[in-house]
Structure formats: C-alpha cells, structure tokens
Amino acid sequence: MSSRTLRRRIHHGDVDGKRWEHLETSGLDTLSEPLLADDDYIEHNKICALEDIWDDECKKAQIHWTFLFSNLIAQWAQWFATIVLGSGSRIGRLLTLPSTALNGQNNRMLPSSLSPLQEERLRNIRQRIEVPFDGSKTEHQDALKQLWKLAYPDRQLPSPKSDLWKEMGWQGSDPSTDFRGGGFISLENLIFFATKYPESFQRLLNKQDGCRAEWEYPFAVAGINISFMLTQMLDLKAGYPTSLSGIHFLKLLEEDEMAFDNLYCVAFSMMDAQWLAKRATYMEFNDVLKSTRMQLERELALEDISSVKDLPAYNLLR
C-alpha cells in the first residue's frame, strides 16, 4: 500500500527517540519521522526505553559478577580439595564438580577471546556504523540512486529532492533528512536486502502479504529503525559486545562476513510478520519493533545456531 493512503503527518524526531514533537492532523499524504505518536504515547515509550536500558545494564552487571563469583568459588573449591582433603579423595572430587559445572555454564555465556577473523569483521562493522549519511557526498547520493533502481527498475530515477521518494517510504521529498541515528549503514542494509533477497524485498516494499492496515509503516524509514535497533541489541558500539545477543552474534560473524546484513533482512521480514500478526497500525510500530527484538533475541539464544540461516525466522525470506 502506498504512503498516499496515510492521512496524517508526524513532525521530525530522531530514530533513537531522543526528540519528539506533536502529532497534527493534515490533509497531506506524507509521514514526517519516526514512528511514534502523541505526548502520552511518547512519554510511555521514553519510560520503556529507560527501563530497557536499565535492564540491559543489569544483565551485563549480573553476568560480570556471576562470572567473577563463580571463578572465586571454583578457585576456593580447588584449593580446599587439593590442600585440605587431597585431590584424589572422594570428597575432594565431589566438591570440585559443582564449581566446575558453574564455571562452564558462565563460560558458555561469556565470549572467549576472538579469533583474528572475528576481530577483523567486528572492526569492519564498527567502522561502518560510525559513518553518518552525508547527502553532500557523491557516493552516498549514488547509493540512494542504486536503491531506487533496485526498488523500481522500470521507473525513471527522480531528482534528489522529489515527492516520488515518499512512495518508497521516505518521510519527505529529500531522503537524506531521514537517516539521523541510522547512518549510512542503514542504506547499505536496504541495498543488500534488495540485492540478496529481491523477492522478499519487493514483497515488503509493496506490502503484498496479508490484510494491511490503512495506516501502514513507511518502508524505508522502518528499515532505518531496524538497523538502529540491531546496532543497539548486538551492542556493536561497545568496545566488546557484552549483551547476550551480541555474544551470540560473534559466532555468526565467524561463519559469515555479512552476518549483520543477513540478520537485518531476517529482522525486517520478522517485523513485517509481527506487524500482520498483531494487525498493527502506524501508531503501534514501536511496540512491533520491540516484539521483533525480543523474538530475535530468543532465536539467537537457541542452541546449534552457527549461522543466520539456522535461525527459524530465516524461512521468512523467500
């Protein structure tokens, strides 16, 4: 469904939800950024965002202190079994088993040292994340043109500022104003999606599945939000990922240099499936995005997941 069916407009704000303004009724058929609503709804989401940040920090601290404490218990038990009871005694062997098991459990949660390949690939992703979109750069404008040609191969390329861009789900006539917290990597993600999984890309772009809401999410801006969500979820701006999802992601990165981009495609398809399942409308986009993140975290935590293709939601890409 085209953005022409939308009846109201949202004023500008950041992708990460730091600044929001008011909703207004308008006869225009466009969206202005990102996917939130009135003041009460905004305040609720700010509180939820703070709670999410606090929960993430608590999880990191819990993992850190559990690891230190288990190591301390393991060292004490080993010393006690060896020095006091003798490592060969039956009591000594019994005492060392629980601490060894506990230590092993935490070692499975915490990352071991990265391989040189993981280090290089993680460094490359961090470098990509740090690049902001710059409309004054020729290569960035060329990337936007490439995305248009992939999305609409039979249509004429619009000028850099044209209302035609709104049909792709940009919120204004100039797509360069929509990136903000997403950065250039979010455009690279969209191009990768259109190139690697063209059928799925076209299906989501043109909203071909299911019974859609009258107020549909804008495709391109939703993609920017997903890139930003993944960066946060995987803790990629940290010196070393400490979130559980970030730790699991390191395994995927070992197998696939483009794991982040492939995971982006899965997340986008997962979000659209959640959207349809919840019969959501524009004002509920943030709730859908939060549900998508939770589902993705659960799938990343499954055993025997060594590549993006092992994720159950990968089957959504068809």
- Model confidence pTM above 0.75: no
Query: How does DSSP classify residue 157?
Result: P
Q: What pLDDT shows up at residue 239?
A: 74
Question: With contact defined as beta carbons under 8 Å apart, do 17 and 232 qualify?
Answer: no
**Region 168-191: what's the mean pLDDT?**
94
User: Given pLDDT bands bounded at 50, 70 and 90, which one contains residue 49?
Assistant: very low
* 24 CB-near residues (< 8 Å, 6+ apart): 8, 9, 11
* 52 CB-near residues (< 8 Å, 6+ apart): 290
Question: With contact defined as beta carbons under 8 Å apart, do 200 and 317 qualify?
Answer: yes
**Distance (Å, rounded) from C-alpha 241 to C-alpha 256?**
17
Question: With contact defined as beta carbons under 8 Å apart, do 295 and 278 qualify?
Answer: no
**Distance (Å, rounded) from C-alpha 217 to C-alpha 282?**
5
| Out of 100-104, 169-173, 245-249, 289-293, least confident range | 100-104
**Distance (Å, rounded) from C-alpha 209 to C-alpha 204?**
8
User: How many angstroms separate the Cα of 8 from the Cα of each of 33, 37, 201, 277, 278?
Assistant: 12, 11, 26, 24, 22
Question: With contact defined as beta carbons under 8 Å apart, do 236 and 300 qualify?
Answer: no
**Region 12-17: what's the mean pLDDT?**
38
**Region 118-140: what's the mean pLDDT?**
95
